[in-house]
Structure 1
Amino acid sequence: MEPLPSHRTAGVTLVELALVVATVATLAAIAVPRFVAAREAAHAGAAHQAMLGSLMAATSHASSTGAEVVVCPGDANGCRPTHDWTGGWVVFADIDGDRVRDPHDTLLQRVAPLGGNARLRSTPGRTRIVFQPNGGAAGSNVTFTLCDGRGAARATALVMNNGAHLRATPAQAAAADACMRAL
């Protein structure tokens, strides 16, 4: 007598399916937070580079044309009275020296709002920076605090002196905590 042939149907068992789901869930639990952190770091890096580029453009234009140049949080219409630069900023040649963006003032640069959860705040009270024809910045030193969705521990301080020299350091705890809160 011959044994009966076994007919096994192709497919997956419930156990195999559970193993695949568990594996995918584990990989997602590891990969998603790292992806989000990398994206936040990229937004913060872009904000840092945009501010650096704006300050360099302002210094260069002021020293080459002999005009004062203003950098302030705002848009093409003018400055906003805030120390929160997250919504974007403008750089303009202040032809009449009134530190207000007038129609005849040359718009040199407009930076769009920051991406992701990146936030950029200047020293309270410093709502604009004015670059003199000698390339230096009028007024006191300014500190920008740059933070993002990775938390206050990852915040950076961009410190600019009156000579328009910029350096990056870890942000002070109080400034980093303030940066993380919405205004």
Structure 2
Amino acid sequence: MRRRNAGFTLIEAVAAAAVISILAGIALPALQDAGEAARSGAAKGTLFDSWMSSVAHAANTGVEVVLCPGDANGCRDGIDWTHGWIAYADLDGNRTRSPDETLLKQAEPLGGKVHLRSTTGRTRMVFQPNGGNAGSNITWTLCDGRGPEAATTIVVANNGRLRTGTPTAAAAQACMAAM
């Protein structure tokens, strides 16, 4: 009686490799989309946290708070918040962070292909002690590697109320473009 060798035949190995390739081709894009959705959700949560902290600090201390794209050194000009943002108590009211002004929040740069852009011309928000913000409404467009159809907006009205929505096709597409 002959004993058969244990193992796979070449045909079995090729069939298994084909099945694994097909499953990977299906699963990998879904995993990438899930990662982008998670990073986008984290960015939205961090922005909400910064907004709430800014409103609370302004109301509790009677001092205006500035929220802007930037880092501990101060604000950056422009509408791209992708590289992080800060919130600070603007003690002297000049909209420029001085070393003696309290840094309330510092958001790190966004990961993956997540982008956050504000309304053209709105490079910062100033929260007043009454909870509102100075100037006009501000709309952020948040997009990621899932494409413009997954983009969302975050709108803050002058009275401080916050809501989310869907951007126009042009705003969603502009959000996806490199700055």
Would you say 1:40 and 2:36 are equivalent positions? yes
Counterpart in 2 of 1:22?
A: 18
Would you say 1:149 and 2:109 are equivalent positions? no
1:134-161 Cα distance to aligned partner (Å, 9 max, x none): 1110000000000000000110011110
Aligned length: 179
Amino acid at match of 1:89: W
Q: C-alpha distance in 2, partners of 1:34/1:115?
A: 18
Amino acid at match of 2:7: G
Counterpart in 2 of 1:138?
A: 134
Q: C-alpha distance in 1, partners of 2:22/2:115?
A: 32
Counterpart in 2 of 1:96?
A: 92
Q: C-alpha distance in 2, partners of 1:118/1:11?
A: 46
After the TM superposition, which residues 1-16 of structure 1 pair with which residues of structure 2 at under 5 Å, given as runs?
5-16=1-12
Q: C-alpha distance in 1, partners of 2:34/2:8?
A: 36
TM-score (norm. length: structure 1) = 0.96
Counterpart in 2 of 1:49?
A: 45
What is the SS of the residue equivalent to 2:70? strand
Q: C-alpha distance in 2, partners of 1:153/1:177?
A: 9
What is the SS of the residue equivalent to 2:142? strand
Amino acid at match of 1:35: L
After the TM superposition, which residues 60-139 of structure 1 pair with which residues of structure 2 at under 5 Å, given as runs?
60-139=56-135
Q: C-alpha distance in 1, partners of 2:3/2:153?
A: 70
Q: C-alpha distance in 2, partners of 1:76/1:87?
A: 12
Deviation at 1:179, TM superposition (A): 0.2
TM-score (norm. length: structure 2) = 0.98
Amino acid at match of 2:90: D
Q: C-alpha distance in 2, partners of 1:28/1:119?
A: 27
Would you say 1:181 and 2:177 are equivalent positions? yes
